[in-house]
């Protein structure tokens, strides 16, 4: 039986009320020095659901893969890669939305000086933002847990197709399956029982894992340090589309607040970071960020 990782957070006490006025974000962006911390909510308008929103994957009883389960179970790895074969195709069809493009525009104008994304879909980079720190890695890469070789997910896709010629029929029956934020889709166990997983092409025996941080796995310390440096130099930390439930993102909100750096959060629904925020704005991200770009005049 799959165990559900700790993914939920319940508000405690009275949190500051949310606003529907984006003026605070406009003023902060106009002043410059903004560091963006984005979450799954920024990609929902591209067709990729978040975890905890109104239509989030957790509401469909989706249980994300944990690092311990992936490394400890051959069956879990088979299930993950079979489901990922369908999810990967949906991910690469997704396109940046107006929110991604707005962040890229503000970064190009020098008003956003850093972007930290908790997303693994690569859409912020596809929108044109450079030097994005991928806090949780990227589904576009695969890493060997034995020899450490990093390769392209597209390379693995070809090898898995070759190893599983009959799986195309299964894929055809599940093309409408909704992709989850971690890049897989729901698929019955009987559909993946015969799926063949391949080993590392470099060392020949190594276990392959997507180059993402699974639940239960630590973010590499050098990546955390890079994010802390960005936040320390920020004039404002702007959180976009994250409930901040897990510590990997929340720690940067705490860091900013402790350093006296204003924190603005744009999210539909309360977040675990609200108590440290100067303001939370509850608006759809694409519409709000487009308005910010227009009002700032870039």
Please list the active-site residues.
136
- In sequence order, the β-bridge partners of residue 149 are none
Report the C-alpha gap between 104 and 72 in whole angstroms. Answer: 39
Place of tokens 């978040």: 50
- In sequence order, the β-bridge partners of residue 179 are 185
Q: Length of the chain in residues, anyone?
A: 298
3-state secondary structure of 115: strand
Q: Which of 8, 23, 14 minimizes the C-alpha distance to 283? A: 23
Q: Which of 83, 26, 13 minimizes the C-alpha distance to 295? A: 26
CB atoms under 10 Å from CB of 74, counted, come to: 9
- 168: enclosing H helix or E strand: helix 167-173
Q: Which structure tokens are listed for 110?
A: 């020098």
Report the C-alpha gap between 25 and 237 in whole angstroms. Answer: 10
Report the C-alpha gap between 278 and 205 in whole angstroms. Answer: 51
């Amino acid at each position: 039986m799959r165990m559900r990782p700790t993914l939920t957070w319940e508000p405690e006490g009275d949190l500051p009320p949310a606003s529907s006025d984006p003026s605070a974000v406009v003023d902060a962006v106009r002043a410059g020095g903004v560091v963006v911390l984005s979450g799954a909510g920024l990609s929902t308008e591209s067709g990729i659901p978040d975890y905890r929103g109104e239509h989030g994957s957790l509401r469909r009883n989706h249980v994300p893969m944990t690092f311990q389960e992936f490394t400890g179970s051959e069956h879990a790895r088979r299930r993950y890669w079979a489901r990922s074969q369908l999810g990967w195709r949906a991910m690469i069809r997704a396109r940046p939305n107006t929110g991604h493009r707005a962040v890229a525009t503000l970064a190009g104008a020098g008003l956003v000086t850093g972007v930290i994304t908790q997303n693994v879909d690569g859409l912020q980079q596809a929108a044109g933002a450079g030097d994005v720190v991928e806090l949780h890695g990227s589904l576009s890469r695969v890493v060997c847990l034995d020899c450490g070789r990093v390769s392209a997910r597209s390379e693995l896709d070809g090898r898995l197709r070759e190893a599983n010629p009959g799986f195309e029929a299964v894929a055809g029956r599940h093309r409408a399956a909704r992709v989850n934020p971690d890049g897989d889709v729901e698929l019955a166990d009987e559909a993946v029982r015969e799926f063949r997983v391949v080993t590392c092409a470099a060392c020949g025996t190594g276990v392959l894992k997507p180059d993402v941080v699974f639940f239960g796995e630590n973010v590499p310390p050098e990546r955390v340090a890079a994010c802390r440096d960005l936040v320390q130099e920020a004039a404002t930390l702007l959180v976009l589309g994250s409930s901040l439930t897990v510590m990997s993102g929340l720690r940067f909100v705490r860091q900013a607040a402790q350093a006296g750096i204003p924190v603005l959060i744009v999210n539909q629904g309360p977040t675990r970071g609200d108590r440290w925020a100067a303001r939370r704005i509850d608006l759809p991200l694409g519409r709000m960020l487009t308005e910010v770009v227009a009002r700032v005049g870039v």
